[in-house]
């Protein structure tokens, strides 16, 4: 498809930034900031230069090439300057669109991106429910209000909801996904180093919305492996589906956080 073609070109050309979402979004931010500033400086600078050059002062002689109101500027002859500025703007805008699109496709296609990097991913299901977040690990282990992940590993989240619309987001890791009943939304992130973050709900979902948080604990991979190996204890009531009404005990993890 059209999008895939751009994605393929962007990949081959090696222009699309790789890495965690933090790295990618930072790169987009800087490219736009630097280019925007550059264009702004050129445009405003040229405007000020002309304002000064054609300023009103005593004893000024009328310059022959002074632009007049309602007249197309012809500096450089036959509107060449005008065409040049159109061409440069078009090249900048089209390049930005293609580059950003290629970059965002990498962000939006977690599985493609992972496969292209030949990476292993950790898949975790996230279930939103008024007003808690529940996490289901591949071995069925379930936690509430606490997500543990290894550092420097691609984590794929499959997000859904048991009741109303929610939205799961971890701002520091630039990950965010809708949690919609009956649907799943995929997102991914890579936490570069161990630390603690807070996940919030980003869709007004009721009176407890503002308190609908979860702690994201990024662990050293070895520590995580150890924790995970001991964490199959409460692989109780099935994986995911069907446990709609029962909030599953507020934190069934029961001190297994060695
Ligand atoms: Cu919510």
Along the 258 residues of the chain, how does pLDDT read in single tens digits?
A: 566 665 565 555 566 667 788 888 999 999 999 999 998 999 999 999 989 988 888 777 766 666 677 776 655 567 787 888 899 889 989 999 998 988 888 888 766 555 556 667 899 999 999 999 999 999 999 999 999 999 999 999 999 999 999 999 999 999 999 999 999 999 999 999 999 999 999 999 999 999 999 999 999 999 999 999 988 755 444 333 333 333 443 343 333 333
Burial of 223 per CB tally in 10 Å (0-12, 13-18, 19+): middle
Q: How far is the CA of 211 from the centre of ligand 1 (A)?
A: 9
**The pLDDT value given to residue 205:** 95
Ion ligand 1: protein residues whose beta carbon lies under 5 Å: 166, 201, 205, 212
For residue 185, give the 3-state DSSP assignment: strand
State the distance from the centre of ligand 1 to the C-alpha of 233, rounded, in angstroms.
Answer: 28
How many whole angstroms from 50 Cα to the centroid of ligand 1? 55
202: how many CB neighbours lie within 10 A of its CB? 17
pLDDT, tens digit, for every residue of 180-232? 999 999 999 999 999 999 999 999 999 999 999 999 999 999 999 999 998 87
Class of domain 120-229: mainly beta
Residues 6+ apart with CB under 8 A from 125: 135, 136, 157, 158, 159, 160, 239, 240
**Could you tell me the pTM of the whole model?**
0.71
Domain boundaries, the chain: 2-53+71-108, 120-229
Q: How far is the CA of 155 from the centre of ligand 1 (A)?
A: 21
- State in Å: Cα 200 to ligand 1 middle: 8
Report the separation in Å between the CA atom of 240 and the middle of ligand 1, taken as the mean of its atom positions.
18
């Amino acid at each position: 498809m059209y999008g895939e073609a751009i994605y393929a070109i962007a990949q081959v050309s090696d222009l699309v930034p790789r890495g965690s979402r933090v790295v990618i979004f930072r790169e987009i931010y800087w490219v736009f900031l630097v280019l925007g500033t550059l264009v702004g400086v050129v445009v405003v600078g040229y405007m000020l230069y002309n304002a000064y050059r054609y300023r009103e002062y005593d004893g000024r002689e009328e310059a022959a090439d002074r632009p007049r109101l309602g007249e197309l500027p012809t500096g450089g002859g036959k509107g060449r300057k005008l065409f040049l500025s159109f061409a440069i703007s078009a090249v900048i805008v089209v390049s930005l669109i293609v580059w950003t699109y290629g970059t965002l496709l990498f962000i939006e296609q977690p599985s493609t991106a992972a496969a292209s990097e030949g990476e292993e991913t950790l898949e975790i299901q996230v279930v939103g429910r008024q007003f808690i977040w529940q996490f289901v690990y591949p071995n069925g282990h379930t936690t509430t209000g606490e997500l543990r992940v290894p550092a420097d590993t691609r984590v794929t989240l499959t997000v859904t909801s048991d009741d109303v619309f929610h939205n799961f987001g971890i701002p520091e890791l630039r990950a965010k996904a809708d949690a919609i009943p009956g649907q799943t939304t995929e997102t991914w992130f890579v936490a570069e180093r161990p630390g603690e973050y807070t996940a919030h709900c980003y869709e007004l979902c009721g009176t407890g919305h503002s308190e609908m948080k979860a702690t994201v604990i990024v662990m050293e991979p070895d520590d995580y492996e150890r924790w995970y190996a001991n964490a199959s204890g409460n692989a109780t009531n099935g994986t995911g589906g069907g446990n709609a009404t029962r909030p599953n005990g507020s934190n069934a993890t029961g001190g297994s956080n060695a």
